[in-house]
Structure 1
Amino acid sequence: MRTRPVLVYDGDCGFCTTSVTLVQRWIGPRCDVAAGQWADLEALGVTRERAEYEALWVTPDGTVYGGAQAVAKMLASAPGGWPVMGAALQLAPARWIAHGVYRAIARNRHRLPGGTPACALPAGPPATRLRRRSR
């Protein structure tokens, strides 16, 4: 059984990899970090499709948070003053704003510093893509 949370990110995305490297250096969260492409996602209780869509925070008990809430949980685990920001991002209306900002960044990560065309996300959230494929 895991004793530390796991931050899962897109290891094929230059922007994501750069962001995680900066987070590890500046914030130093108390978690394990794993690129979704090489992590044992099944053991974490996460689908590959979800791991490709958003950053994930998996608690030791198996609870999975995605996107902005994953970032909030990661900040809450960090030392110093970061937990205050993490807690604030978990409360409305900051949670709603954080979700919108996260989605905008995720949709445009291929245009951001460190990003490449390979960083572009498939269109729509995982559930939408599944419905399109099943038709």
Structure 2
Amino acid sequence: MPALKPTLIYDGECGFCGRCLSWGMRHFMAFPKAIPSTSKEAKESGLTEAELAESIWIIGVGAPLPAAKAVAFILKMQPNFLWRVLGHLMSIWPISLIAKSVYFWVAKNRGRL
């Protein structure tokens, strides 16, 4: 069985997204491969243009994980116990609903952040 290779799809044209990606790559010991949503690999991921435009995605780990689920996945990858706990908490209802709402609020307002 081949090893799963998580890949983060992000908005490569968004300055805020690029800064968040750079921060994550600097501060997290474990980080998935990152590709912009306009890349050939992202276009061939099986996600629609609308889905790619809507949020970040983690692919290569079974079903694609969008938005806050993608963030939680990255946190769960970390060797640091506290990051992993935060990732698991973000996956539990009702915290997952709050995390999703916060994610989409930030996404909607990213031009101002």
Q: 1:56 to 1:101 in 2, by over 3 A?
A: same
Partner of 1:90: 91
Unpaired runs of 5+ residues, structure 1, are 113-135
**TM-score, with normalisation over the residues of structure 2?**
0.88
- Structure 1 stretches of 4+ with a deviation exceeding 3 A read none
Inter-partner Cα distance in structure 1 for 2:27 and 2:41: 26
Q: Which runs of 5+ in 2 are unaligned?
A: none
Q: Which residue type is aligned with residue 53 of structure 2?
A: E
SS of the residue 2:58 aligns to: strand
Residue 51 (structure 1) aligns with:
52
2:82 is the counterpart of 1:74? no
Q: Name the SS for the 1:99 alignment partner.
A: helix
**Cα distance in 2 between the residues matched to 1:97 and 1:56:** 18
- How many Å separate the matches in 2 of 1:2 and 1:101? 32
Q: Following the alignment from structure 1 to structure 2, what is the Cα–Cα distance between the partners of residues 67 and 3?
A: 20
Asked if the contact 1:4–1:30 (Cα under 8 Å) also holds between the matched residues in 2, the reply is no
Identity of matched residues, %: 28
Q: Contact between 1:41 and 1:47, CA under 8 Å: does it hold in 2?
A: no
Note if contact 2:72-2:87 (Cα within 8 Å) is conserved in structure 1: yes
Give the aligned partner of residue 115 of structure 1. Answer: none
With normalisation by structure 1, the TM-score equals: 0.75
Q: Flag the structure with larger Rg.
A: 1
Amino acid aligned to 1:69: K
Do the aligned residues in 1 keep the contact of 2:7 with 2:34 (CA within 8 Å)?
yes
Which residue of 1 is the match for residue 109 of structure 2?
A: 108
3-state SS of 1:40 partner: helix
Match of 1:132 in 2: none
Structural RMSD (CA): 1.7
**Number of aligned residues:** 111
